[in-house]
Amino acid sequence: MAKQWDEAMIPDQSGKTIVITGSSSGLGLHTAMALAGKGAEVIVAVRNVLKGEAAAEQIRRRHANAKVKVMKLDLGDLSGIRSFAAAYRERYAGLSVLINNAGVMMPPYQRTKDGFELQFGTNHAGHYALTGHLLPLLLRTPRSRVVTVGSLAARSGRIDFDNLDGAKGYQGFTFYRQSKLANVLFAMELQRRLAQAGADTISIACHPGIAATNITSRGSGNTSNGLLLFLMKRLFQSAEMGALPSLYAAASPLLHGGEYIGPDGKGAKRGYPALDPAINGIDDPKVAARLWDVTERSTGVRYDFQ
């Protein structure tokens, strides 16, 4: 893998359609900005349409000819996810890249409309359902891919199958780590199932290292505490740098599926995109398969790889 890979090395994306969840700010916005600047048609899939439109306008100011569409998507609502997928299918015949980027971090204990603990439901189950609903379009699009954004927190995560909804006790960061581990396990299991089906579509996981973003708003959608943001910007890498692993995963022709991309610096906290060997200690195919089955039953979304 080339050292110091950056936005300038993104291949031309003309003719591609790319859905990015949670792309009104932070990593998602920078990812959308870069891919739109390379010619892709970018769908800003967000819960707050007004913020999405503001993000789209920001992208158009940077890239006058950008093709950007804002669509409402609430990952905490399975019926809303179905509606998004149906609306997408009405407008588009294919899907080149799905970037599962949106996430909430350490909110007070809440459940989604469908009864999931908010972080598990939004970060993992919602993306599982969305990917399943859009899978037919991905499968019919040559060399398509699914990119799922994890976190360094996945390394210390554990899937507590006996308390996924938090009813037996809840601790914000513990459940955040669980949800981000679920993201990575989902991406790896999806790749195994795509490969087994002989599909052209591939699945890749990535993480931003430690980047200064608004995820610390704890799911409120509000701007993070000013002092916290100041400290983050001093200590962490920028959202632009944090977006590079997502961009590499979405656009590099060198990837074949099943990779885990993160920053190349010490502890994978900062730097340029590289393969993160931590995946060897994170991915457990048995746990991933069990998680898949549990998520399939609880969401009612069954994947058809044909």
Distance, CA of 52 to CA of 17 (rounded, Å): 17
Q: Are 209 and 271 in contact (CB under 8 A)?
A: yes
Q: What is the 3-state secondary structure (H, E, C) of the chain?
A: CCCCCCHHHCCCCCCCEEEEECCCCHHHHHHHHHHHHCCCEEEEEECCHHHHHHHHHHHHHHCCCCEEEEEECCCCCHHHHHHHHHHHHHHCCCCCEEEECCCCCCCCCCECCCCCEHHHHHHHHHHHHHHHHHHHHHHCCCCCEEEEECCHHHHHCCCCCCCCCCCCCCCHHHHHHHHHHHHHHHHHHHHHHHHHCCCCCEEEEECCCCECCCHHHCCCCCCCCHHHHHHHHHHCECHHHHCHHHHHHHHCCCCCCCCEEEECCHHHCCCCEEECCCHHHHCCHHHHHHHHHHHHHHHCCCCCCC
Q: Which of 88, 128, 176, 248 is catalytic?
A: 176
Contact 244, 7 (CB under 8 A): yes
109 is catalytic: no
CB atoms inside a 10 Å sphere around CB 252: 19
Active site residues: 176
